[in-house]
Structure 1
Amino acid sequence: FRFTRSGHSPHLVNLNIETHLRRALSRNELRIVYQPKVSIDTGKIVGFEALLRWKNPVLGDVSPAQFIPIAETTGLIVPIGAWVLEQACRQLATWNRQLGLPLKIAVNLSLRQFRQKDLLSMIERCLALSSADPLNLELEITESTAMSHAEDVEMVLQKIRQLGISLSIDDFGTGYSSLAYLKRFPVQALKIDRAFVRDLGAASGSEAIVQSILSLAHGLGLRVIAEGVETEAQLQFLRQLACDEFQGFLFSKPIEAGDVPGFCVAAENADRLE
């Protein structure tokens, strides 16, 4: 057995997390924070990505890297994911009404969610309950999800797209995409994995990979979003290659839902003063 610093085996730690996670929704321990997506060309906020956070009274702040895989394995990601989408859709409708800005919200769909037979009806229900405009909703799937049973995935993506929802492939460059399928999938954007962005400027080959992804995506008429941008040097490199959007601590860490309207107004006012 391997043991953690606390002296417990990883299995026991995961079991403890799972036990608390099963009650997290009903006990209102989950919340969503929103990371701005910014146009590299204009510097304006064009949308947000919804990111799940969990604070448990016993475990404290639990890292998504710890609890998301457990939620996926146990199937808890299905009710939790439905809750995230509904909350994000409600926020989307509220913010677009309050701010009068055509902001988009991106929500991640996991492999387990993607394989649910009622996925489409769940999405339609969230849109109906919130009165959110599907044109302002973007759903993200990872490259590995996209390539697992690619023909089935293509069919589901087509149906989601028919609702007016945008689609993007997350963590692009980390999997084994068939370029033929990429051309067939009805996606509008690719997100460059933060591992490649982090190494920009280092002698790692990341610059060549990022350049290739941008060339490929733009050749297919897709937008490209870079994740994890933390330095001006990274942003400058992405700007030179005509990357479309970025996310990362260079612009802002994820924001609490209640702070988003004020953040957007302040950003708009700052743009006017420049």
Structure 2
Amino acid sequence: MVKSSVTPVYRMLRRVLLVFMSLLILVLGIQVCLHFLILPRMQISQILLESTLNLPDALLLSLGGLTGSENYISLDSDEIRKNFETSPLIRKAYVEKQFPGTLKIIIYRRVPLGIALLKSSGKAHMIAFDEYGVVFDAPGVSGYRDLPVLSGMVPDEKNGTKVLPESLYPLLQDLKILRKNSPLLYGQISEISVRPDQGVLNEIRLYISSYKLPVVVSSGLTETLMKKILLVLDSLNTGKLMTDLEYADFRTEQVVLKTREGN
């Protein structure tokens, strides 16, 4: 009788090798099934889109880099959200994948706080800005007619986005609060003319609807100050003094009336 030359150690190694090869074949089989059978069937089949932006759905989706052929597993919802938020028109975006093939998107537009005319290549076009100083295009005039017009400033560029100079940020916060607490008083402001000097906001001129006399203010444009401005302008409007005045200065507690030169 011939004894087997195969040692127990060899048998054990062979079993381990067979198990390893079986596992490897199983993993490869799973990957093949996943790639050719499962993944192609896990396309995004439904997009639930909610937006406060009045733009066509196809244009909105393109802002997020969506083409309509996205795969549920490979799609990165955080990357899509960042794509949306790089647009100056969009303040915030939420993107969520819902199994097995739904993508839910909620988009919040930037709410314009005012508008301005920006000259570029010899042409002027209207832009809007929000409470954070972010500048974005204002298509047409619908929905912007009641907003104050800002003049005397040139936008800066920050991380590829146009923004108002930082010296205007306190004024923007004042306007934001005034619009929230007293929208009627906010609506009385027709134009805001600023005169920055080396990054410092030296003068703010307000033009109030129905009054020709501009008023000069500093930061701190509150509801109380707006009521005071309207009261003074209304009292001046009834007399002949208005035609002799250049502006009314509200930067101190006592109102200073600046007369025109030669008067």
Interval containing the TM-score (normalised by the shorter chain): under 0.3
Task: Give the TM-score of the pair, scaled to structure 1.
Answer: 0.21
Task: Give the TM-score of the pair, scaled to structure 2.
Answer: 0.22
User: Higher helix share goes to which structure?
Assistant: 1
Asked which structure has the greater RCO (Cα within 8 Å, sep 6+), the reply is 1
User: Higher strand share goes to which structure?
Assistant: 2
The higher radius of gyration belongs to 2
